[in-house]
Amino acid sequence: MLAPVIVMLSVGFAAGVCLAAASRFFNVERDWRLDAIASCLSGANCGACGYPGCASFAAAVVKGEVPVNACPGANAAAVEKMAAVMGTEAPAPAEKRAVVLCGGGRKASDRYEYRGPKDCAAMSALMGGVKNCSFGCVGGGSCALVCPTGAINMSESGLPDISAELCIGCGLCVSECPRCLITLKGADERVSVLCSSRDKGPETRKYCSSGCIGCGICVKVCPEGAIAVDDFLASIDSSLCTSCGKCVEKCPVSAISFLKIR
Amino acid sequence: MRLSSLTDGIFKNNAIFKQMLGMCPTLAVTTSASNGVAMGLATTAVLMGSNFAVSLFSGFIPKNARIPCYIVIIACFVTVVDLYMNAYFHALHKALGLFIPLIVVNCIVLGRAEAFASRSPVADSVLDGLGTGIGFTIALTALAVCRELVGAGTVFGYAVAPSFYVPVILAVLPPGAFVFLGFMMAFTRFMSSKIKGGGH
Amino acid sequence: MSGLMLLFVGAALVNNVVLSRFLGICPFMGVSKSSETALGMSAAVAFVMMISSVVTWIIEYAVLRPWELGYLQTVVFVLVIAALVQLVEMVMEKTTPELHASLGIFLPLITTNCAILGVALINVQSDYSFIEMIVFSLGTAAGFGLALVLFSGLRERISFSSVPEIFRDAPIAFITAGILALAFMGFSGLVR
Amino acid sequence: MNKQLKIILAVTAVSAICGLILGAAYNQTREAIAEAERADFLAGLSEVLPPYDNDPDKDAREIKGTTVYEAKIKGKPSGYAAVFSSGKGYGGHIYVLVGMDAEGKVSGVAVLKHKETPGLGDKISGKDFLGVFKGLSEPGLIAVKKDGGIIDQFSGATMSPRAVADAVSRALEFMRDNFISEEKR
């Protein structure tokens, strides 16, 4: 009866000794700050900070090569925590969110019936694009595929719906969209023109019910004079805009709207 | 004691289709439906027992030595089950004998022990073990029925296929195992996407 | 000498540990996404497999057989393998951190890697002598490495081809593995 | 220091406890297993041997390294049985229990242990396959049709039946040489 216990005891002891010795010699001294910083990051390894992943970004922060708010995905709370770990005061977070500057989707008429791989580059290259509007979103969903945190999924309206909570502002979708419709907007920019069409008004009117026709009503109605129209497309200067919302009400085709905030 | 730890294991987090663990016995054993069921039930028993033991001892085991300790507990549990089954349920043991040592190296058992049991209370762990075990058994039996039907024209040993059907031996051989599992995974993914309302 | 060669070829090609004995599938599927991790993994598996076969063989013939503790076989073998894997994990963490990071969860899973315990048990159950055991383990490790690297090459190609939605990633990988297993079945009968 | 000590302690303690549990479990189940296996073997024997009234596994004799079990009726030997194995199986060794009656004809065959592929090679333990051997008396004829014998192999699996036939013919030959006197052969 004793034999099994002795055998197991000795083998267990031998294994334990080897493990203990190994854990001493091969002990990797990890800087505690590395783990602390890594825990505040989203861990999506998106590379927007210029480093090949959150682990190397954390190492750079610990070495002091890069300021604490260099990660676009880190919100205010995360930046504060990292600043506390590093012992520096918390600079303003460079929090950015992706926004699609197009309100068409199903509202924009199709040029032809497309049957082929669901990929924006293909859909927008074929004969000038699936939609009659040669500026707007073709709804291929490539941005959704590339998003590391799954913030983008194609909604029923045929447009990518970007969830403000999940989006970490990594910019991968910006470079993916063949028609450059997606831009990163700071937390302070609250109102935006959701259209990129530079066709003349009646032209745009023909193929999209919510495209900007360059009528200029918003320019007149904006108390701060923050809006200007060039090439029949309105654009808002975020430094002047106080997001009063008058332009949103007055726009005849409701091309201007409030952005979803976190 | 959340019920979700039970139901998770069956559908949402099914061991074979979602976690992709426990492939070795899945491919090796599912040549006949009765083997599949037997292996599934034996694994469920071991899963519940080892999750129970691991979550009980997880407090005392240091981080660096967690794998050796967990796997020894699992192996000890499996051997005890093997011994008692051999002694008191000899007929069942003769049918299962080959599969029981396989359970020790089944990735699910250590996977669940390390991922779940070592971090959650005992009751939840046992439930999770049961859930994962049932999910594993269902998937295993489904695969086994398909392979046996195509490979031998029988299900649970009873001849089902019409007389002119020539069984495709390949389904029972190793290549067939991989291919059948691949198609089955695609099928379950197709079904779950249907149930979720046909996402884009 | 030819017997040993036949044993090696038999272990590496004929009953390849992954494609016909179905041992070691979890890491095989998990790690084969890119070929560097595949190489790293097969090196780690080969290393652990060799050492564990030797240690378990010695324990079997020095301790378990004389004291007829056959029933302890599984527990002792698994304990030895687990300790070895933990050792390899620590060594890797220190010496090659990036490979350690990329292997991630699959390093501890080597412990439950059925291939390693499988080889240890087969060595003992088929009463191989010391030399035969070494050759068999080497052959099996080579077989595992070969299958893994071949398969990771295939999977890298698959990721470029357009696969229907429901077949993406895992299902198509299994079907490809099936075809690879079919190819390896061609070797059967090479060694009898 | 105490981190390493904790590791050693934990691994040793867990292993020792497991050793204890296993030792206890083994001791408690040892006789039951032996008993169950003996019952199993006896069942195999009775299936393979012609009727007998003694305990064949007690009347076993060692001849040239092979144990032969002798069946008797009222003291008169009515049959013999021996375990032979063949390494030619697809999955490895196949252990076969072969029974022979007093006239030197095969009285029954049972497969004790095999690792043939389930669903394919494992048909060798089926009754209909093993029945074919009954009544044969010529060891030379016992082989698969491919090798010139009279046993027909299954489609897609010739190695398993060939291994069984090989073991049976060697067993029959061994027992006939040792037990069947010259004139009856």
Q: Cα(D32)–Cα(A225) distance, rounded to whole angstroms? A: 95
C-alpha distances in Å from residue C146, one per residue of B40, B175, C11, C13: 31, 17, 12, 9
B65 touches chain A (CB under 8 A): yes
Distance CA B13, CA B7 (A): 9
User: Which residue, among C26, C106, C113, would best test binding to B if mutated, counting the most B CBs under 10 Å from its CB?
Assistant: C26
Contacts of B44 (CB under 8 A, 6+ apart): B129, B130, B133, B134, B136, B137
Whose tokens are 């595929």? That residue is A145
- Which of A15, A19, A141 lies at the smallest CB-CB distance from B200? A141
pLDDT above 80 for A87: no
Q: CA A54: distance to chain centroid?
A: 16
Q: pLDDT at residue A40 above 60? A: yes
Is the Cβ of C72 closer than 8 Å to some Cβ of chain D?
Answer: yes
- How far apart, in whole angstroms, are the C-alpha atoms of residue C112 and residue C120? 13
Judge residue A13's burial from the number of C-beta atoms within 10 Å of its C-beta, 0-12 exposed, 13-18 middle, 19 or more buried: middle
Sign of CA dihedral C19, C21, C26, C28: negative
Cβ-contact D90, C21 below 8 angstroms: no
Average pLDDT, integer, range A156-176: 84
Q: What is the DSSP letter of D63?
A: E
Provide the β-strand partners of residue A228: A235
D25 vs B contacts (CB less than 8 Å): 79-80, 83-84
- Nearest chain A residue to D6 by CA distance is A20
Is it the case that residue D11 has pLDDT exceeding 70? yes
Contact status, residue C96 vs residue A27, Cβ threshold 8 Å: no
pLDDT at A23 over 60: yes
Shortest alpha-carbon distance between residue D50 and chain C (Å) = 34
Asked if C83 has any chain D CB less than 8 Å from its own CB, the reply is: yes
Phi, psi of D79 (to 5 degrees): 180, 165
Cβ–Cβ gap A5/D26 under 8 Å: no
Please give the residue that has the higher pLDDT: either A95 or C172. Answer: C172
pLDDT tens, position by position, for chain C (192 residues)? 778 888 888 888 887 888 877 787 877 877 777 777 788 888 888 888 898 899 999 988 888 888 888 888 888 888 888 888 888 877 877 787 777 777 666 666 665 577 888 888 888 877 888 998 999 999 999 999 898 889 988 888 888 888 888 888 888 989 999 999 888 888 776 665
Report pLDDT for D155: 66
Residues A189-236 pLDDT 10s: 788 888 888 888 888 888 888 888 888 888 888 888 888 888 888 888
Cβ distance D27 to A1 less than 8 Å, yes or no, reads yes
Tell me what pLDDT residue C189 has. Answer: 65
**Residues of chain C contacting residue A140, judged by C-beta atoms under 8 Å apart:** none
Q: Which residue of D has its CA nearest to B70?
A: D14
Q: Which among D11, D15, D22 has the least Cβ separation from residue C71?
A: D22
**B63, B64, B70, B80: best to mutate for the A interface, most A CBs within 10 A:** B64
Rounded to an integer, what distance in angstroms lies between the CA atom of residue D139 and that of residue A234?
Answer: 100
Best interface-test mutation with C: which of D3, D4, D7, D11 has the largest number of C CBs within 10 A? D11
Q: Looking at chain B, which residue has its C-alpha nearest residue C115? A: B105
How far apart are alpha carbons B178 and C72 in whole angstroms?
33
Q: Note whether residue D144 is domain-resident.
A: yes
Residue D103 in any domain: the answer is: yes
CB contact under 8 A, B79 and D22: yes
In a domain, D20, yes or no: no
Interface test with A, best of C51, C55, C58, C72 (most A CBs within 10 A): C72
Helix extents (H) in D49-156: 127-131
Q: Tell me if the pTM is above 0.80.
A: no
- Say how far residue C162 (Cα) sits from the centre of its chain: 31
Give how many domains chain D has, as a whole number: 1
Is C93 within 8 Å of chain A by CB?
yes
* Cα within 13 Å of Cα(C90), Cβ side: 21
Under the phi-then-psi rule, with left for phi > 0, alpha for psi from -120 to 50, and beta for the rest, what region is A228? beta
Contact criterion met (CB < 8 Å) for C171 and B182: yes
- Please indicate whether, in this complex, the C-beta atoms of A19 and B64 are within 8 angstroms of each other: yes
| Interface predicted TM-score (ipTM) | 0.71
Contact C37, C31 (CB under 8 A): yes
Q: What burial letters (b/e) apply to D102-128, b meaning 16+ CB within 10 Å? A: bebbbbbbbbeebebbbbbbbebbeee
Interchain contact, C75 vs D22, CB within 8 Å: yes
Interface contact flag, D11 A9, Cβ < 8 Å: no
Say how far apart CA C155 and CA C177 lie, in whole Å.
9
Distance CA A17, CA A29 (A): 21
> Which among A9, A23, A27 is the top mutation candidate for probing chain D, defined by the most D β-carbons within 10 Å of its own β-carbon?
A9
Q: Which range has the top average pLDDT, A60-64, A141-145, D66-70?
A: A141-145
Confirm whether D19 is domain-assigned: no
Question: Is B68 close to A15, i.e. CB distance below 8 A?
Answer: yes
Q: Which letter, b or e, does each residue of C77-115 get, where b requires 16 or more Cβ atoms within 10 Å of its Cβ?
A: bbbbbbbbbbbbbbbbbeeeeebbebbeebbbbbbbbbb
Q: Is D150 helix (H, G, I), strand (E, B) or coil?
A: coil
DSSP H or E run through B158: strand B158-159
The three-state DSSP-derived secondary structure of chain A is: CHHHHHHHHHHHHHHHHHHHHHHHHCCCCCCHHHHHHHHHCCCCCCCCCCCCCHHHHHHHHHHCCCCHHHCCCCCHHHHHHHHHHHCCCCCCCCCEEEEECCCCHHHECECCCCCCCCCHHHHHHHHHCCECCCCCCCCCCHHHHHCCCCCEEECCCCCEEECCCCCCCCCHHHHHCCCCCEEEEECCCCEEECCCCCCCHHHHHHHECCCCCCCCHHHHHCCCCCEEEECCEEEECCCCCCCCCHHHHHCCCCCEEECCCC
* Interface contact flag, C76 A55, Cβ < 8 Å: no
Q: Rounded to the nearest 10 degrees, how much is the dihedral formed by the CA atoms of D90, D93, D99, D103?
A: 80
Structure tokens at B103: 């359970």
Question: Which positions in chain C touch D12 (Cβ < 8 Å)?
Answer: none
The number of beta carbons lying within 10 Å of the beta carbon of residue D176 is: 19
Closest CA to B176 of B146, B133, B137, B131: B146
Q: pLDDT tens, position by position, for chain B (200 residues)?
A: 677 777 777 777 777 777 777 777 788 778 888 888 888 888 888 888 888 888 888 878 887 777 788 888 888 888 888 888 888 877 777 766 667 777 877 778 887 887 787 778 888 888 888 988 898 999 889 999 998 888 878 888 788 778 788 778 788 888 888 899 899 888 888 887 777 654 44
**CA A71, CA A77: separation in Å to the nearest integer?**
13
Nearest CA in chain D to A5: D19
Domain annotation covers residue D137: yes
- Provide the β-strand partners of residue D96: D84, D111
- What's the domain range around D91? 60-184
Q: What is the pLDDT of residues D115-133, one digit of tens each?
A: 676 556 677 777 788 888 8
Q: What is the pLDDT of residue B199?
A: 43
What does the alpha-carbon distance between residue B180 and residue A127 come to, in Å, rounded to a whole number? 42
Three-class DSSP category at B62? coil
- What subunits make at least 3 CB pairs under 8 angstroms with C? A, B, D
D172 in a domain, yes or no? yes
> Among B31, B47, B3, B5, which residue's Cα sits nearest to residue B136?
B47
Amino acid B200: pLDDT:
41
Mean pLDDT of A73-97: 74
Q: Residue B129: its pLDDT value, please?
A: 87
Mutate to test the interface with D, among B35, B61, B76 (most CBs of D within 10 A): B76
Cross-strand partners of A208? A108
* D11 and C CB contact within 8 Å: yes
Query: Beta-carbon neighbour count of residue D47 at 10 Å?
Result: 16
- For chain D, give the percent of residues with pLDDT over 70: 90
Task: For tokens 């494609």, name the residue.
Answer: C19
Rounded Cα gap, residues C103 and C110, in angstroms: 10
Helix, strand, coil shares, percent, chain C, to 5: 80, 0, 20
Distance CA C80, CA B79 (A): 16
pLDDT of residue A29: 65
Nearest to D13 by CA among B57, B4, B43: B57
Q: How far apart are CA A193 and CA A198, in angstroms?
A: 13
Chains in touch with D (3+ beta-carbon pairs under 8 Å) read: A, B, C
Residue A119: how many CA atoms within 13 Å on its side-chain side?
8
Residue B198: per-residue pLDDT: 47
Spell out which residues of chain C touch residue B176, defining contact as CB-CB under 8 Å: 178
CB contact under 8 A, A7 and C63: yes
Least CA distance to D7: which residue of chain C? C83
Q: Of B65, B72, B200, which has the smallest distance from its Cβ to A19's Cβ? A: B65
- Mind telling me how many Å the CA of A115 is from chain D's nearest CA? 46
Residue A120 near residue A143 (C-beta atoms within 8 A): yes
Confidence (pLDDT) at B116: 81
**Which amino acid, residue C34?**
S
CA distance C85 to C105: 12
Domains of chain A: 33-86 (1.10.15.40), 96-258 (3.30.70.20)
Q: Which of the two residues, A64 and C59, has the higher pLDDT score?
A: C59
Which residues contact residue D123 at a Cβ distance below 8 angstroms, ignoring those fewer than 6 apart? D129, D154, D157, D160
- Chain A interface residues facing chain C, Cβ-Cβ under 8 Å? 3-4, 7-8, 11-12, 15, 18-19, 22-23, 26-28, 55, 117
Under an 8 Å CB criterion, which residues of A touch D?
1-9, 11-13, 15-17, 19-21, 23-24
Q: For C69, which of A3, A18, A22 is closest by C-beta distance?
A: A3
Non-local CB neighbours of C128 within 8 Å, separated by 6+ positions: C57, C136
Which positions in chain C touch B64 (Cβ < 8 Å)?
86, 90
Please judge whether C90 and A22 are an interchain contact, meaning their C-beta atoms are less than 8 angstroms apart.
yes
Nearest to C70 by CA among B114, B82, B108: B82
Is C79 in contact with D19 (Cβ distance < 8 A)? no
Cα–Cα distance, B53 to B50 (Å, whole number): 5
D-interface mutation test, from C22, C73, C75, C136, most D Cβ less than 10 A away: C75
Cross-chain Cβ contact A15/B200 below 8 Å: no
Whether C163 contacts chain A with CB within 8 A = no
Chain-chain contact of C59 with A11 (C-beta, under 8 angstroms): yes
Please, which chains are in contact with B (at least 3 CB pairs closer than 8 A)? Answer: A, C, D
Token pair in block for residue C48:
């652990």
Q: Report the C-alpha gap between B127 and A20 in whole angstroms.
A: 34
